[in-house]
Amino acid sequence: MSERVAVVGAGAVGTTAAHDLARRGCEVTLFEAGAVGSGASGRAAGVCYDAFAEDIDAAVADRALTRFRDLDADPTFDWSFTPRPYVWLAREGDERRADAIREQVPRMRAHDRRVELLDDEALTAEFPALRSDIAVAAVARDAGSADPGAYTTAMADRAVEAGVTLREDTPVELESDGEGAQVIVGGEQGAADTVVVAAGAHTARLLGDAGLPVPVKPYRVQAAVTEATPLSERIPQLYDATGGYYCRPRDGGLLVGDGTEPIERDPDDWDRAADDWFVADCADHLRAAVGEVPAVGRAWAGLCTATPDGDPLLGERAPDVVVAAGWQGHGFMRAPALGERIARGVREGDWLAPFEPTRFDGDESFEIVEGMVVGEAAGESATGE
């Protein structure tokens, strides 16, 4: 009999894991409390890059980009990936972040990342639509952008084609004897040899209720898209470390992200609409980035998940109970590699040691630090997704 695996959560990571597990011969059921991609994946910004200074992060990001490109070249996968440089910068007078960028780039290059430092003149020569007055910038050449919701839907369809049983609108509970766990649906126990919990902001509650606590905290982030503007054809993906915002072309307009609130949120009770102050801030961000302020067309909020050290939890929390959460805003951009690693871990026991959940007791007290930082304590990446 093939191994029976229950995957909880049909976001970008969960759908990819379900597909890859089925391709490895598992009998997979994918449970989703709402609709496919209705959680964080449907609200993500879709920035994808490999600009990581740590070796494991860089390798995971590189594999994710490879799979993104392969899927983009597959005419049967209804989705697209747009290659686009990714720039992050520090403004004049912000020497702390400028020094951090200068320190990051050689470490990234040591892991074969195609990144380089640019001064003000070189940046504006390559991207004349961007405003100058920078101390230093870096550019990642192997980067791109995509629609996270479209990827998640397409991957769910492919998972079903591979034999996965998809159960939308099916909330589940977990029941544990202190060792493993079982999925409970409508009060009845489901049949599974292994449970993979990739439920985003609901992960901590699901596992905690089963007596398997994990240190994952949901926090709120915000994004907006402007009306159509010619600037969408003229700028790269951008993270302004000094201003603390990111920007990329999307749907003919510009997507702007910021509005992070480092406060733990109830995953079932939070405001999905963007705040007025955030929409107002978008004008300042756009003025700083490109000197123009296209009108905001729509805006929204989403949830990211934080861990004590800024690294995700990926591996066994208990025998045959796998947790995949705590992406710090980098979940979608790494989903193709993370789903693959989950399938490999379940089938072969091969996990990534720095991400092992057993490094924590599960009841740690910690402050939320957003993943989109340069020169701060939440990791080594340039920005979030």
Q: Is the pLDDT of residue 249 over 80?
A: yes
Res 374: pLDDT: 75
Our separate counts of H helices and E strands in the chain read 8, 20
Contacts with 23 (C-beta within 8 Å, 6 or more apart), sequence order: 162, 343
Residues 288-331 have pLDDT tens digits of 999 999 999 999 999 999 999 999 999 999 999 999 999 999 99
Contacts with 152 (C-beta within 8 Å, 6 or more apart), sequence order: 10, 11, 12, 15, 36, 37, 41, 42
Band of residue 382 on the pLDDT scale cut at 50, 70, 90: very low
Report the distance separating Cα 359 and Cα 130, nearest Å.
43
Query: Cβ(36)–Cβ(10) under 8 Å?
Result: yes
Give the three-class secondary structure for 330.
coil
More confident: 274 or 377: 274
Q: Is the pLDDT of residue 385 over 70?
A: no
Residues 157-194 have pLDDT tens digits of 999 999 999 999 999 999 987 667 789 998 888 889 99
Q: Is the pLDDT of residue 81 over 70?
A: yes
Amino acid at 9: G
CB-CB neighbours of 74 under 10 Å: 12
Q: pTM for this structure?
A: 0.95
Res 379: pLDDT: 39
CA torsion through residues 299, 301, 307, 312, sign: negative
Q: Is the pLDDT of residue 376 over 80?
A: no
Q: Report the C-alpha dihedral over residues 262, 265, 269, 270, rounded to 10 degrees.
A: 10
Residues 112-137 have pLDDT tens digits of 999 999 999 999 999 999 998 999 99
Mean pLDDT of 209-223: 96
Domains detected in the chain: 4-69+148-215+308-359 (3.50.50.60), 85-142+218-306 (3.30.9.10)
